[in-house]
Homo-oligomer: A and B are copies of this chain.
């Protein structure tokens, strides 16, 4: 998605440790109108997959998934990261190790909101090592639902998450794949 690449170049910041900060439009401040365009692009890519639900994980996946859901006209279900006393006991659950936060956390989805008849599009903001995505896939599979697609806004192509998921046969589409960050600029993979 060319406009995404332009916005990453204009507004992204490269930090030590191969960190790409996109806080100004995706992870802290949200450019809702642009996220709406991202949602539309995911619809273009996955519209023929018979999607019944969009699954994401809190926090940064929620706005993107919600925008996509306006086009697909299906609900979003977001996996929760910590147990709240308000949440049902009857949940699918899994574990994720967060590289940025250096700790493991639990994720969970209520059994009410996913079942074996669902055809899922999983959406997230970033794909790097893929730990969060593997946790989400694990949770989604517990429901018996079929994972029809995985949509990522920014894939770090120099980490193994994308390669792993493609080898496993998932229908993974990333709107921008960053192959390298050097000398303060981002090198994108050719389409």
Complex contact B21–A86 (CB within 8 A): yes
Copies of this chain: 2
Given A23-B110, A36-B70, A66-B35, also A28-B80 (CB < 8 A)? yes
Q: Within 8 Å of chain B (Cβ to Cβ): is A48?
A: no
SS class, residues of chain A in contact with chain B: mixed
Q: Within 8 Å of chain B (Cβ to Cβ): is A116?
A: no
A25 proximity list for chain B (CB < 8 A):
75
* Bound-state Cα–Cα, A19 to B35, Å: 33
Could you say which of A63, A101, A112 has the most chain B C-beta atoms within 10 Å of its C-beta? A63
Q: Within 8 Å of chain B (Cβ to Cβ): is A29?
A: yes
A31 proximity list for chain B (CB < 8 A):
75
* Bound-state Cα–Cα, A82 to B58, Å: 13
Q: Contact mask A104-132 → B, CB, 8 Å, 1/0?
A: 00000110110000000000000000000
Choose one: B29, B36, B62, B100; the contact of A63 (CB below 8 Å): B62
Complex contact A76–B101 (CB within 8 A): no
Number of chain A residues whose Cβ lies closer than 8 Å to a Cβ of chain B: 43
A33 proximity list for chain B (CB < 8 A):
69-70, 73
A30 proximity list for chain B (CB < 8 A):
62, 65-66, 69, 75-78
Q: Which residues of chain A (58-105) have a CB below 8 Å from chain B?
A: 58-59, 62-63, 65-67, 69-70, 73, 75-78, 80, 82, 84-88, 100-102
